[in-house]
Amino acid sequence: MLIDTYGRVATDLRVSLTDRCNLRCTYCMPEEGLQWLAKPDLLTDDEIVRLIRVAVTELGVTEVRFTGGEPLLRPGLVSIVERCAALEPRPRMSLTTNGIGLKRTAAALKAVGLDRVNVSLDTLRPDVFKALTRRDRHHDVLDGLAAARDAGLTPVKVNTVLMPGLNDDEAPDLLAWAVAHDYELRFIEQMPLDAQHGWKRDGMITAGDILASLRTRFTLTPEADGERGSAPAERWVVDGGPHRVGVIASVTRPFCRACDRTRLTADGQVRTCLFAREETDLRAALRSGAPDGEIARLWRQAMWGKKAGSGLDDPEFLQPDRPMSAIGG
């Protein structure tokens, strides 16, 4: 079990498969990209599967989310999913992606055991997409979403970040589109995880702003008490159902008290929180020949030291040294 001193138990593992990405989203990284991790620093496919096996069989993890960077850029992704699907007990597995490569991979991923996907899409306008991501790939994301839905990687969840002056007027249109295509839309407050450290609290679009915008067109009914559990998204029923919309208010409505996550970076570091400034090195233990029991002990020790909250409300808050692409969303 991965328990901390506040009694929280981590059962949800986020695994970053690469820090590389084929987009350059303005809220994540500069236009020229970043200095990527060297290949020898990355966990191998075998090392990733071994760590997931330890998490599932010895530490009580029941859900695994593959992230990045862009996880579809990992050459061994399909094999990794297939091997993890064979674990006993079998974890539920999902993928967070920008969707560009989903059209060609969705069916294969479903066939080997992936359960569902989260796809990032911030706008319905191709010109705004190009401005936000610095790439002209909007149609590829739409095609990837459709392929995921058709392959049965459902519910297909769409993650959206609203940025002032770019797409902050699109919330109602995005929700209408998601309902029409049977996707579950989730708005995410912009978080201080950009490589440029340009995030400013006073310029962000808040959960309150998003909900006010949505209510100009839709009737939103709060989800019944208890349905949220440890999920980060607060959800509302749209126009009486069955569709729902979620808002992940990491900044203005933090959900740290119910957090059930542990995180593994692409270079084998355990992180207890997206905003943590400390990491525990499991890669070194793996490569020095440590048995599974020792790796599990190090992981338990790391999670035992998890802080009460993200620290975002602390006036002295400092962003993590590593950006979102290296940490894994």
User: Are the C-beta atoms of 329 and 323 separated by less than 8 Å?
Assistant: no
CA 253 to chain centre: 18
Give the residue ranges of the annotated binding site for [4Fe-4S] cluster: 21, 25, 28, 256, 259, 273
- Annotated binding-site members for S-adenosyl-L-methionine: 27, 69, 120, 191
The answer to whether the CB of 6 falls within 8 A of the CB of 308 is yes
Question: What is the rounded CA–CA span in Å between residue 68 and residue 257?
Answer: 25
C-alpha Rg value of the chain to the nearest Å: 19
Locate the DSSP E strands across the chain.
Answer: 12-16, 63-67, 92-97, 116-120, 157-160, 184-188, 220-222, 234-238, 244-248, 261-264, 269-271, 280-281
Measured CA to CA in angstroms, residue 255 lies from 159, 172, 229 at distances of 18, 25, 10
Would you list which residues are annotated within the binding site for GTP?
A: 14, 65, 96, 157, 261-263
Give the closest residue to 95 by CA, choosing from 139, 178, 153. 153
| Residues that constitute the known binding site | 14, 21, 25, 27-28, 65, 69, 96, 120, 157, 191, 256, 259, 261-263, 273
Degrees to nearest 5, angle at CA 215 with 213 and 216: 70
What's the DSSP call for residue 44? P
Measured CA to CA, the distance from residue 248 to residue 72 in angstroms comes to 24
Query: Which burial class, exposed, middle or buried, applies to 118 when counting CB atoms under 10 A from its CB (0-12, 13-18, 19+)?
Result: buried
* Angle CA 250–198–164, to nearest 5: 70
